[in-house]
Amino acid sequence: MLPGFVLEIIEKLKGEGFEAVAVGGCVRDTLLGRTPADWDIATAAEPGEVARIFEKTAPTGLKYGTVTVLIGEERRRSPPSAPTGSTLITAGRRP
């Protein structure tokens, strides 16, 4: 059910010892048979750890616990906030 780029992010985080799960509207949309516009991934990894794990990142909301992960030519965009004590990465396809 998860797109390859989302699985890639989750598996890489898990490989580094961090829990990672898809959360938010993407889960709802998938359950309703809709194509999500973006994918939120919650993880216990700190933003700095996410930046260490992934080759290309952008510090889009470090004070809120969000990081943008760039994989290939697709941009993974972060939302403005995350639950306390976690990092939220949004993986969304953007032209």
Q: How does pLDDT run across 38-48, given as a tens digit for each residue?
A: 778 888 888 88
pLDDT in tens, 19-42: 899 988 889 999 999 988 777 888
pLDDT band of 88, cuts 50, 70, 90? low
**Has residue 12 got a pLDDT over 90?**
yes
Residues 35 and 87: their CA atoms lie apart, in Å, by 24
**Residue located via tokens 């992010």:** 9
Give the end-to-end CA distance of the chain in Å, rounded to a whole number: 22
Of 88, 63, 90, 66, the C-alpha closest to 77 is 90
Residue 29: give its domain's CATH number.
3.30.460.10
Q: Provide the number of structural domains found in the chain.
A: 1
Percent of the chain with pLDDT over 90: 20
Determine which helix (DSSP H) or strand (DSSP E) holds 6, and give its type and residue range.
helix 4-15
Q: Which amino acid is at 62?
A: L
State the residue range of the domain holding 76. 4-91
The whole-model pTM stands at 0.74
